[in-house]
Amino acid sequence: MFVDDIEIDIQAGDGGSGTVAFFPNKKGPCGGNGGNGGNVYIQGDHNMADLHMYAGAKVWKATSGGRGMSFNKIGKDGEDITLRIPMGASITDTETQETFEITSIEKILIARGGKAGRGNKAFASSTHQVPREFEKGTLGEVKKLHVIQRLIADIGLIGLPNAGKSSLLNELTAAQVKTAMYAFTTLEPNLGVIDKKVIADIPGLIEGASQGKGLGIKFLKHIEKVGMIVHCISAASEDVLKVYKVVVKELEEYNPELLEKEQIILLTKTDLVDEKQTKKLIKKLSTTGKKVYPVSIYNPDQFSDVKKIISK
């Protein structure tokens, strides 16, 4: 499941209370302070593709500080937790409406743990030798964060059904998504990561997709969030140029701004045609003004070129 918009409940740890204790034989107070509650941090992560790990009703909690103990022993501090968030995501505190964007791997304190309470030892003085006071720890901050991932991927693989998009994703990254020789195998975008770049394999588009044909345009919403568009066109297509135009038309009808993104063409399945035909098809597709690269999942050598382009 691909998740790009979610609410996350977080809770920092409470401060531990101080304690009331006395040394044996009435030799004075020795109630220790509590421990501080753990903080909740968030941190950008280049290797995260989406927010599915936060799906579900879970509350992400840091642990509370321990209670102070006798003999002036301080309670244990609660442990911090760090939530990893994909780069580029925006985070809104649903209560204050404060919003910021995740742009670096620096840890950001998002919910502060409660302060420890003091034990009775801390209240002792020359005029107050048998203190029975202590403090409770304060509560950790509790927040609800609305997290939206604006850019789902650096690169989007798009094209007609069966063009070989999912197969490419599997070859280029460690993804293991289903591929099959029929149309609409992919029903939701799949993501893979290579060299810190997220690649999205987007379900096949057909003529009329922008009007709701096939799987419709809901996936164009994802293309909109992509940095670079990679058109996948099978070398076995009857007319590669027509295929390109069909896909471009759908993009344009949905949102002309999509066409302003950087685009390249991958001529896929080149093992199905001979070298001469491959050259001819590359020449034909080059008339679009886009760079064209031949690939076949049965020719791993070609992938090093494609990988280089993608990491650039």
Ligand X SMILES: Nc1nc2c(ncn2[C@@H]2O[C@H](COP(=O)(O)OP(=O)(O)OP(=O)(O)O)[C@@H](O)[C@H]2O)c(=O)[nH]1
Q: Applying CB under 6 A, which residues contact ligand X?
A: 161-167, 179-181, 183-186, 203-204, 268-269, 271-272, 296-298
| DSSP-assigned letter for residue 304 | H
Write down the least CB distance from residue 92 to ligand X, Å: 34
Q: Are 306 and 172 in contact (CB under 8 A)?
A: yes
Q: Are 38 and 173 in contact (CB under 8 A)?
A: no
Residue type, 122: A
Q: Which is nearer to Mg ion, 166 or 270 (CB)?
A: 166
Instruction: Indicate which of Mg ion, ligand X, none lies near residue 207 (CB less than 5 to 8 Å, by partner kind).
Output: none
Q: Which is nearer to Mg ion, 82 or 185 (CB)?
A: 185
Write down the least CB distance from residue 273 to ligand X, Å: 10
Q: Locate tokens 């027509």: which residue?
A: 242
Strand 99-101: give its sheet, edge to edge. Answer: 59-61, 5-11, 142-149, 89-93, 99-101
303 phi/psi in degrees, rounded to 5: -70, -30
Write down the least CB distance from residue 290 to Mg ion, Å: 22
Q: Are 18 and 34 in contact (CB under 8 A)?
A: yes
Q: Which is nearer to ligand X, 75 or 203 (CB)?
A: 203
Which single residue brings its beta carbon nearest to ligand X? 204
| DSSP-assigned letter for residue 32 | P
Write down the least CB distance from residue 204 to ligand X, Å: 3
User: CA dist 308 to 195, 197, 217, 293, 303, Å?
Assistant: 10, 12, 30, 12, 8
Instruction: Indicate which of Mg ion, ligand X, none lies near residue 269 (CB less than 5 to 8 Å, by partner kind).
Output: ligand X
Categorise residue 226: left if φ over 0, alpha if ψ from -120 to 50, beta otherwise: beta
Q: Which is nearer to Mg ion, 186 or 237 (CB)?
A: 186
Write down the least CB distance from residue 220 to ligand X, Å: 14
Residue 22 in tokens:
């006395």
Query: Can you give the binding site for Mg ion, defined by CB under 5 A?
Result: 166, 185-186
Write down the least CB distance from residue 274 to Mg ion, Å: 26
Instruction: Indicate which of ligand X, Mg ion, none lies near residue 163 (CB less than 5 to 8 Å, by partner kind).
Output: ligand X
Q: Which residues pair with 198 in a beta bridge?
A: 193
Q: Which is nearer to Mg ion, 33 or 186 (CB)?
A: 186
Q: How far is CA 306 from the centre of its chain?
A: 24
Q: Which is nearer to ligand X, 6 or 169 (CB)?
A: 169
Q: Which is nearer to ligand X, 53 or 187 (CB)?
A: 187
Q: Locate tokens 């109630």: which residue?
A: 31
Write down the least CB distance from residue 201 to Mg ion, Å: 6
